[in-house]
Chain A
C-alpha cells in the first residue's frame, strides 16, 4: 500500500496537476475568514493559480483553517479533514493555529493545530494579508511539486498519536473511526 502511494507521490504529471489545481475548503473559523474573499476576488485573484473555493470536503484538496479553534470546532475540523480525499493538505492560517495566538491562555481553544491534524503550511500573522495567503499557497504548491506535502500520509501513519491528542481535549468522543 505504501509503496503504491510513494510511487504515485513521485508521479510528476500528477503532482503538476495537483499543484495547479488546489480546491480549497475554507473552514471559516475566527476572524481569519474575512481575509479569504479578498484573496479569491478581483484584487488578488487566487484563481489564476488554479485555486478555487469548493463547498464540500469530498471535492476539496486544501483545508484552510482560518483562525483559532474552539474544542467544539475542532471536532468538526477533524471530521471534515477525515472526509477529504487524499492527497489532501491543510493550511493553518494566522497565529492562532500556530500557538493559540491571543487565545493562548483560553480554557477552550486549542493552541497548536499541528497536534491534532497534520498541517502542511502555516501562514503567519494576525491576520495575514491576502498576499501572505497567496504566498502560503505558492509555498504549498512548491512542496506538492516536490512531493513533500505528505501531511495526510503522516496522519495515517501516526493516527494513534493524533487520536490520543484529539481525545485529550475532546472529552465526549463520538467520532466515527477514520477508515483509511
Chain B
C-alpha cells in the first residue's frame, strides 16, 4: 500500500464530504432559483454543519443513539474505501481491489441501517415512522437498482467495478449508451436513494418532523449531515464509475458527478411527493419493467 494511497484514504472522506455538501448547497440554490428566489449561498450547508458542531449541548438517549451516526458515517466511509474514485494516471483505488459490486451494494446499507438503529433508540414515534417509511422505500428502489447492477455484471461478466470501468474506454462505450435500460432503472433507483422530492416522505418535515433524525441535534446532527454529503458523493462516484466510464481526474469527476446530480434534482423540483406505498409500487412498476427489458436484452 503506497503512502499516496494512505493519504488519499485519509483525505478522501473530507474531500468527498465537502463536495457532497457543496452539491447539496448548490441544489438548494437551484431549487430557490426555480422557485423564483435568491436562495442561500452554495456553502450554506457547510455553515450549517459548523454551527451544529459548535452547539453547546447535545442530548443522547443511549448507546445506540450515540453510535447511530458514528456507525452511519463509518458505513459511508467504508463504502468510499471500496469505490474506485479516479482511474486516470493518478488513480485513487483505495481498497477497490478487495471488494466488488455486491460488497458495495451491501456495505452501502450498513450506514442506513445504523442510522435507523440510532433513530430507533431515540424513542420518538416520528423517528420510527420515518424509519419504517425509509426501509419500505429502500425495498422499493433496491429492486431496480439491483436489476441495473445485474445487467452490468452479466453484460461484462464481472462483478468488479474496476473491470466495468475498464470496459467503458470510450464515450461510445459508456454504459449510459450501451445499456440505457440499465441506466434508466439505476437512475430511478438513484432518485429514491437520494431522498429527493418525489421520494422524500421519509424526512417529511411538516408531517413527521423530519423523520428518523427528529430527535437528533447538535453534534449528532452535524455528523449526520456530513454523512449525507459524503454519502451523496459516494453514490455519485459509484454511478459515474458504472455508467459514465469513471473519471480520470478530479475535474472530470466533478463534472460527471454534478451532471448526474442534476437529474434527481430537477426531477425533484417539479414533482410532488409520493406516499410510501406509492413510491414502493412506482419503483416496482416502471423502473423494474424497464430493467427487465434490459435483462432480457442482455440475455439474448
Residues of A participating in the B interface, judged by any CB pair closer than 8 Å:
5, 8, 11, 13-14, 16-18, 20-21, 23, 41-42, 45, 47-50, 53-56, 58-59, 61, 84-87, 180
Select the residue from B35, B44, B50, B217 with max chain A CB neighbours within 10 A: B217
Residues of B close to A61: CB separation below 8 A? 51
**Contact residues, B202-234 vs A (CB, 8 A):** 205-206, 209-210, 213-218, 221
**Nearest CB of A to B222, in Å:** 10
- Which A residues touch B221, using CB under 8 A? 58-59
Q: Given A18-B51, A42-B37, are A47 and B56 also a contact pair (CB < 8 Å)? A: no
Contacting residue for A85 out of B41, B59, B205, B209, CB 8 A: B59
| A14 near B217: Cβ-Cβ < 8 Å | no
**A48 surroundings in chain B (CB, below 8 A):** 32, 37-41
Closest 7 CB pairs of A and B: A58-B217, A55-B209, A14-B54, A17-B50, A55-B205, A17-B51, A45-B37
Cβ contacts under 8 Å, A14 to chain B = 50-51, 54
**Contact of A47 (CB < 8 Å), options: B32, B36, B47, B50:** B32
> Please, how many residues of chain B have a CB less than 8 angstroms from a CB on the other chain?
31
Do B59 and A58 touch across chains, with their CB atoms under 8 A apart? yes
Contacts of B56 in A (CB 8 A): 5, 8, 85-87
Among the listed A21, A58, A180, which residue makes an inter-chain contact with B51, where contact means beta carbons less than 8 Å apart? A21
Bound together, the chains give a CA A41 to CA B50 distance in angstroms of 25
Residues of A contacting B58 with CB < 8 Å?
Answer: 85
Alpha-carbon separation in the docked complex, A29 to B8 (Å): 52
Q: A17-B50, A55-B209, A56-B215 are in contact. Are A42 and B36 (CB under 8 A)?
A: yes
Contact partner, B54, options A17, A56, A180, Cβ 8 Å = A17
Given A14-B50, A50-B47, A85-B57, A58 and B36 contact (CB-CB distance below 8 Å)? no
Shortest A57–chain B CB gap in Å is 8
Contact A85 B51 (CB under 8 A): no
